[in-house]
Structures are given as C-alpha cells and as structure tokens.
C-alpha cells in the first residue's frame, strides 16, 4: 500500500489493522460485530416512536430504521459533522439535529434492504463498546464523547490507510451532510436560493399543493 | 410553452396502468410480449411493438411519477426516483452509482445530453465483436429516427456559466469543445433535469415512448419487480414478479405471473444481468454479468471570482472530446469532459468533508464550478470492466475493480480538468479526493496531482452510465446476445438496453440505447407479426 495512514497508531491497534488486512473481508468482519452486538444487548430494533422524556428528538416521528443507540450515535456525530454550520442557541440547534436525524432515518428506509444491512453493520460496530474502543478508538460512550473526540475519530477514519475505514467515513458524513445541507431550512448555508420563484408560480404542481 | 401533461391526460383517458401496490390478490396476465423495465430501452421497445399491433405488458419496479410530483426538490427526488434511494454503490463501496428507478428509468432523471454512438466505438465493435451490421453507415438511419422522436438538437441558448467555463478553459488552451445536443422541447433552462423535469420539456421515455405505447393499448404495471423468468424446456414460459408495497421497497407479498410469446429484458446494466442470473438462464460460457462498464467519473471543483450559480440552467451544454479518442480507440484510457449540475444535497454528498471545512466549502457553492471526466472503459485488455453478481437476497451488485490502466487515465484527467479551470480564471481548484487541499495555481496543482495517491475511496468516483453485463457479439462464447439483442440460447428472449453494449460508449449512452432498441424492436415486431 503506497499510501500510509497519517494517524498516530497506538501499539494496541496494530493488531486490528493486521486483522483487517489479513484477508478477512470487511463485510465478514463487520458481520461478526453485528451478531456480537445483538447478543450483547445493543439496541437492534428500530426505535419507533420515542417519548419526549427519553430523548430530544420529536416524539411525533416514528423511526423505521434507526435504533435508540443509532440516534445517540448521530446526536454525538452531527455536532462534529455539521455542527459548525449550526446556530448556537440551544433550542434551534437541538431541533436542527433532531430533524436531521429524522431525515437520515427517512433516507435510509429508501436505501432498501441490502444497503440497510451494510449500515446496520457499521452502526453496530460503532455502538458496540468493544469495537467502538478498538476500531473507532473512541473511549467515551457516544453520549459522553466531546465534539473534539468525535472530530478526531472522523479525522482518523478519513486519513486512515484502510479503505474500509475511509468508506465508513464517507458513509457517515455523506448521509449526514445530505440530510442536513439538502434541507430547505439549510439551503442558505450553501447560498442556494431554491428553485426560481417565477417558475414555481408558473407551474401547476406548485399551485395545486 | 406547453404545459399539457401527457401522463395526467392519458390516465384520465383510461390508459391501462396498474399501481401494483394496490393489488391484493395473486394474478396472471398474458400478452404477446412482456417488457421488463420502462427506461430508454423498454420505452422504445414498447412503443414500437404496440404500434405494430402487438399486445404488450410493461413491468417497472419503480413507481409512476410525473409532472405533479416533480417539484425541483433534491431529497424527495433522490429517495423516490433513483436506485436504492441514491445509495447504490459498487460492491466495495468505492464508486457511487446514479441510476433511475421509476417509470422512464434513468431517462426521467438524466441530464438530456444526446450523443450518437461515436464512430470509432461502432467500428471497434464491428472489428472486435463481429458486429458488422452496426457500422456507422448502417446505424445512421436509426440515430436520425430517434433524434426526431426525442426532439434532439444542439442547445442554442447560451450555456450557463458552469458550462461556459469549460468552454473558456478549452479555448484558452486550444482544446476542442462543442455544443451538446439535448432532447428537449420548449425547455425553460431551469436546471432541474436530475430531479424529474418540472415542465415536461425533457423528451425522455416518460413523455414520448411510454405515452406512445399506452396510447396503443399497452398495459403498464409499476411498483412491480421482475423476480424470475421461468423456463419450460428451451423457452421462457412466464415471468414471476413481486408487487412492492406503497413504501416502494418492501414486497407486499402479492405475486404476479406474466405469460407471453416473447420477453424483452430492459432492466438496464446491473438490473438485466441480475434478472438473468436469478432466472438461471442458460449461460454455458459464464458471460452474464461480465464486462460491465461504467464510464468511471472523477471530478474537480473550482472557486471562480464571479458567480457561477451552478444549480441553474441546462445542466450540460458544452463538452470536450479533445482527450476522448486522441490516443487511438484502444490506447491509454481516453475521457470525455463535461460539467455536472451542483445543487446543495448533491454537492454536500460529493464534496467529501465534515465540520468547519465542509461548511466553508459549501458556503462557496454559488461560485463553484465543476468539471467531470468520463473514462472510456472496455477498449483495452487492462480494462475488462466489472462483474454483476447476486447478493444473498437476490439483488444485483456490481463489483468494479479499478485497474492501473484506469488510474492512469484518472490521474491524467485530474490534470486536464484542473488545467482547464485555472485557464478559465479559477481562483482555486480542488480534486474530489480525500487528500486534496485547495490549490492556488495550476503549477501547484500539477505537482500535487502527480503525488496524490490514486486509490479506492480516497479518489471519489462516480458513474451515471451503467453499460454491459449482457454484451452482444456474434460469438456465443464471448457474448450473451447477438447483434440484434437476441439471446444466443433462448429463442424467445431479447435484451434491449444499455446492458448489451460490448464496451462502454465513449459518450453519454441514452441515444445509443434508443437507437439500438428501435432497430431491434422493429425487427422483433416483424418476426412476431410474420
Ligand atoms: C443522473 C443521471 C444523469 C444522466 N445523464 C445522461 C445524459 O445527459 N445523457 C445520456 O445519454 N445519458 C445520461 N444518463 C444515462 C442514461 O439515462 C442511461 O444510460 C439510459 O437511460 C439507460 O437506458 P436503459 O434502458 O438501459 O435503462 P434505464 O433507462 O435506467 O431503465 C431501466 C429500468 O428498469 C427498471 N428495472 C430494473 N430492474 C427491474 C426489475 N427487476 N423489475 C422491473 N423493473 C426493473 C429500473 O427501475 C429502470 O426504470 C444519466 C443517468 C443518470 C442517472
């Protein structure tokens, strides 16, 4: 491999790298984690409707794919992925994150079974304590992880020489960025004015709405 | 400007269109011909056969969306109109695959560039795959006919700034460029081709051949997934299909059996080889799924001093073929240069990054310009393409190894694209690559591009052009169908879509699909009527 990882590897993680490279395909590796996660009490069922006391997300929304653990994961990831673009005031910030997590859930539902399974493996790997520590090298549980820790984790996966981890970085940031920046409420952040108003006025599909 | 919606009118007039999610009972239907897939190939086939008086059933896995649904919104469009909700990727996740999944197929979301199959490509096919009667002279009338049917002509309106920058850069450097012919009628120049044309200007399958077929008594089932072609002795007896529920992704449990004299598969590259593999169609030489091509795409973005507004205006209107066939048809990988539209969701998914850096990148969207290179794959022994296989759940997946031959082409393309953007006045340029910073000058970019690792995942790769996997050729040991799309081993099976291309095209493929499907359907109609 001509491109060496930029990140500082601690000795204890060397074995996971050789493990990943030892011909064990990524899928197989992640598949094992998924089974382990299920056995070890990670939430594996879609969260459905959450009550407000439980979590800051909107209790009216019914989650079809994301589990309670996944929701906590994204509550930790989003401040690092889209956080700098978010307003500072706690309430709008909370709402923007909650709305983005809902759109991530809606998006994944349309991905269909095969890609859902891939994401399930990735999320389980991140949620399951042992692999969170060994593969993601995040020591705190997600709700306790600081934005700086999460950012460092994302940087490690982005700059890693292991394609599988790069792929994980792309998957996490892509679904988050698209669900966030693609939403009309956040279009202004990319200077996108939206569809031309004159066209919307002239087109029947907008008048009938 | 005409706002008559052909689909709304047709439905009102009693077209035979069934939304399979509403079916509650298993059922069987019969026709002369069952066509699987309603995109470029399926639509063309349906119209020609129905007009010839044959009874036709069209089967589409995606749903019927039309003007009322096309609201210039990315998130809803990606979720509903694209394969796997826009999350389709190659097996190792390294290449993003953009492909349509709705009535009209990819033509409902494509960017309307309409090129004839390049002559060197057709000649290469004749010389290497025995496809003598696809030589340029023989194909000309079919291109003429399809250009008329889909109202193809060069885009005479000024290009938007995004495209004009490609033109300016080429001019400065003495590279050739030209105006793209588009399949539009009364286009408003809005820029939303990729999310379903809001004005019905796009002359894709949805507004031309599908209505043409339905006007001629064809029946359409949408939200119905073709699972398996079932053989009886050496012929296909019927198709087993699964109705999808209203959520569009889960089968409802209702099965539909479709019987016919002849079956035309037009589920496109990835989809068609997938269906054939699921059906255990005779394949003595293991050709199904092999030689799948994608025109691998890499991209650069530039920050321009003046506003580009890359989200507005006809998405593609200028191209350059300077580097496409320059090294010969089968030399080092050639590439076509074009421009992609940039809307916020797409851009935030394509430009890799997070945090402050990503916010600052996207903040510049109105000043951003992008060039893409489409590599011509499949013309060289070191570019054998990818392989479609089945996942455990029976869904098809494309494994596409990027060979050193292609990496070399991708690196050269990065050079060319950055050079063009700086020549056109870019303040900064960056590659769609995990390790690329913003470069401030062409010399800085040139030096860095030589050093950056050309590796999967680090280089962001895309495809909107899936081809091959059921390649045509005269020799059954090397191909799946003959030069008329007729299966080598099963007499009542034809394939009429981009999966039959024996190499990539070297140009955006829709007109190649339209023309071949028209030619092959005309022959098929004659046979079935005769
Ligand atoms: C975003 C985008 C932009 C593009 N821009 C251009 C452009 O500007 N110019 C150009 O020439 N080309 C462009 N293309 C590509 C072009 O549209 C395709 O090459 C062309 O439509 C391929 O035709 P086809 O008949 O092979 O497949 P498609 O048009 O994709 O149709 C195949 C259909 O089969 C259906 N199907 C698949 N499996 C099944 C199943 N099991 N059961 C039932 N139905 C099934 C699919 O849902 C789909 O609707 C673009 C594509 C995309 C995605």
pLDDT tens by residue, B261-304: 999 999 999 999 999 999 999 999 999 999 999 999 999 999 99
| Contact between chains at B362 and A189 (C-beta distance less than 8 A) | yes
Chain A residues close to B358, C-beta within 8 Å = 81-82, 85, 173, 177
Q: What is the pLDDT of residues A74-103, one digit of tens each?
A: 999 999 999 999 988 999 999 999 999 999
| Contact between chains at A191 and B453 (C-beta distance less than 8 A) | no
**What separation in angstroms does the CA of B460 have from each of A112, B80, B266?**
23, 24, 29
Mean pLDDT check: name the lowest of A53-62, B425-434, B451-460, B482-491. A53-62
Give me the residue from A80, A112, A189 closest to B355, CB to CB: A80
- Could you tell me how far CA A126 lies from the centroid of its own chain? 10
Model pLDDT, residue A87 = 84
Q: Are B35 and B224 in contact (CB under 8 A)?
A: no
Model pLDDT, residue A27 = 45
Chain B residues close to A20, C-beta within 8 Å = none
pLDDT surpasses 70 at A36: no
Complete DSSP assignment for A77-109: HHHHHTGGGS-SSHHHHHHHHHHHHHHHHHHHH
pLDDT surpasses 50 at B177: yes
Model pLDDT, residue A40 = 57
DSSP B227: E
Nearest residue of chain B to residue A150 (CA atoms): B355
Model pLDDT, residue A3 = 39
Q: Are B14 and B243 in contact (CB under 8 A)?
A: no
Nearest residue of chain B to residue A165 (CA atoms): B457
- Would the CB of B498 count as within 6 Å of ligand 1? yes
Compute, in angstroms, the gap from residue B101 CA to the centroid of ligand 1. 7
Q: What is the pLDDT of residues B83-105, one digit of tens each?
A: 999 999 999 999 999 999 999 99
Q: Are B322 and B175 in contact (CB under 8 A)?
A: yes
Model pLDDT, residue A28 = 41
pLDDT band at B530 (very low <50, low <70, confident <90, very high): confident
- Would the CB of B105 count as within 6 Å of ligand 1? yes
Q: What kind and span of H or E run contains B154?
A: strand B152-154
Top pLDDT among A39 and A193 is at A193
ipTM over 0.85: yes
Give me the residue from B248, B355, B460 closest to A84, CB to CB: B355
| Buried/exposed B13-47: b ≥16 CB within 10 Å, e otherwise | eebebbbbbebeeeeebebbbbbbbbbbbbbbbbb
pLDDT surpasses 50 at A2: no
Could you give the percent of chain B with pLDDT greater than 70? Answer: 99
Average pLDDT, chain B: 97
Using alpha carbons, select from B257, B240, B219, B252 the residue that is nearest to residue B21: B252
Q: Which two tokens stand for residue B470?
A: 């059921």
| Contact between chains at A81 and B362 (C-beta distance less than 8 A) | no
Chain A residues close to B434, C-beta within 8 Å = 158-159, 166, 169
pLDDT mean over B195-220: 98
Top pLDDT among A68 and A57 is at A68
Q: Please tell me the residue having the least CA distance from ligand 1 atom 31.
A: B39
List CB contacts of B115: < 8 A, sequence separation 6 or more.
Answer: B180, B181, B505, B507, B508, B511, B512
Q: What is the pLDDT of residues A102-114, one digit of tens each?
A: 999 999 999 999 9
pLDDT surpasses 80 at B116: yes
């Amino acid at each position: 491999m001509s491109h060496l990882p930029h990140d500082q590897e601690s000795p204890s993680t060397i074995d996971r790298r050789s493990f990943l490279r030892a011909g064990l395909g990524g899928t197989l590796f992640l598949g094992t984690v998924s089974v382990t996660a299920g056995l070890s009490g990670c939430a594996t069922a879609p969260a459905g409707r959450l009550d407000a006391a439980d979590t800051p997300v909107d209790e009216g929304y019914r989650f079809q794919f994301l589990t309670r653990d996944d929701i906590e994961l994204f509550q930790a990831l989003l401040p690092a992925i889209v956080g700098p673009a978010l307003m500072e005031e706690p309430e709008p910030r909370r709402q923007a994150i909650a709305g983005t997590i809902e759109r991530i859930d809606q998006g994944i539902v349309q991905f269909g079974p095969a890609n859902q399974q891939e994401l399930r493996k990735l999320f389980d790997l991140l949620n399951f304590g042992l692999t969170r520590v060994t593969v993601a090298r995040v020591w705190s549980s997600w709700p306790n992880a600081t934005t700086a820790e999460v950012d460092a984790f994302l940087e490690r996966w982005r700059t890693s020489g292991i394609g599988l981890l790069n792929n994980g970085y792309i998957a996490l940031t892509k679904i988050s960025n698209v669900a966030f920046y693609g939403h009309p409420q956040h279009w202004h952040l990319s200077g996108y004015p939206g569809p031309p108003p004159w066209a919307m006025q002239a087109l029947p599909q907008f008048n009938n709405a | 400007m005409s706002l008559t919606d052909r689909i709304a009118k047709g439905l009102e007039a009693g077209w035979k269109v069934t939304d399979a999610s509403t079916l509650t009972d298993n059922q069987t239907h019969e026709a002369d011909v069952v066509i699987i897939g309603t995109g470029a190939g399926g639509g063309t086939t349906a119209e020609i056969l129905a007009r010839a008086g044959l009874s036709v059933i069209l089967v589409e896995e995606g749903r019927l969306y039309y003007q009322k649904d096309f609201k210039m919104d990315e998130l809803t469009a990606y979720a509903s109109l694209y394969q796997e909700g826009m999350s389709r990727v190659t097996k190792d996740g390294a290449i993003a695959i953009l492909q349509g999944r709705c009535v009209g197929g990819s033509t409902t979301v494509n960017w309307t560039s309409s090129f004839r199959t390049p002559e060197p490509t057709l000649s290469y096919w004749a010389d290497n795959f025995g496809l003598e009667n696809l030589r340029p002279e023989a194909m000309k009338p079919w291109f003429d006919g399809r250009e008329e049917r889909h109202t193809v002509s060069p885009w005479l309106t000024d290009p938007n700034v995004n495209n004009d920058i490609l033109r300016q850069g080429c001019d400065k450097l003495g590279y050739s460029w030209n105006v793209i012919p588009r399949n539009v009628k009364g286009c408003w120049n809005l820029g939303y081709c990729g999310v379903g044309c809001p004005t019905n200007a796009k002359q894709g399958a949805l507004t031309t051949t599908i209505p043409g077929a339905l006007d001629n008594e064809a029946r359409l089932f949408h939200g119905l997934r073709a699972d398996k072609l079932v053989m009886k002795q050496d012929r296909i007896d019927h198709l087993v299909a699964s109705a999808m529920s209203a959520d569009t992704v889960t089968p409802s449990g209702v099965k539909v059996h479709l019987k016919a004299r002849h079956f035309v598969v037009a589920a496109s590259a990835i989809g068609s080889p997938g269906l054939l593999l699921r059906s255990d169609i005779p394949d003595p030489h293991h050709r199904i799924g092999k030689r799948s091509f994608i025109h691998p795409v890499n991209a650069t973005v530039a920050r321009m001093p003046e506003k580009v507004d890359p989200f507005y205006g006809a998405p593609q209107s200028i191209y350059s073929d300077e580097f496409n066939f320059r090294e010969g048809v089968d030399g080092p990988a050639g590439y076509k240069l074009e421009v992609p539209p940039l809307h916020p969701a797409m851009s935030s998914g394509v430009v890799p990054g997070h945090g402050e850096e990503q916010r600052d990148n996207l903040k510049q969207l109105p000043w951003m310009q992008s060039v893409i290179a489409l590599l011509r794959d499949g013309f060289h022994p070191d570019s054998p393409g990818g392989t479609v296989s089945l996942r455990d759940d029976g869904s098809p997946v494309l494994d596409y190894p990027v060979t050193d031959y292609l990496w070399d082409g991708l690196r050269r393309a990065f050079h060319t694209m950055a050079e063009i953007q700086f020549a056109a006045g870019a303040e900064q340029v960056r590659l769609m690559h995990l390790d690329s910073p913003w470069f401030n000058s062409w010399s800085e970019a040139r030096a860095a591009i030589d050093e950056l690792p050309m590796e999967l995942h680090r280089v962001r790769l895309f495809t909107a052009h899936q081809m091959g996997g059921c390649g045509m050729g005269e020799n059954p040991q090397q191909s799946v169908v003959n030069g008329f799309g007729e299966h080598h081993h099963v007499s009542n099976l034809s394939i009429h879509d981009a999966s039959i291309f024996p190499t990539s095209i070297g140009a955006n493929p829709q007109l190649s699909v339209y023309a071949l499907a028209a030619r092959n359907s005309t022959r098929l109609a004659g046979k079935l009527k005769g």
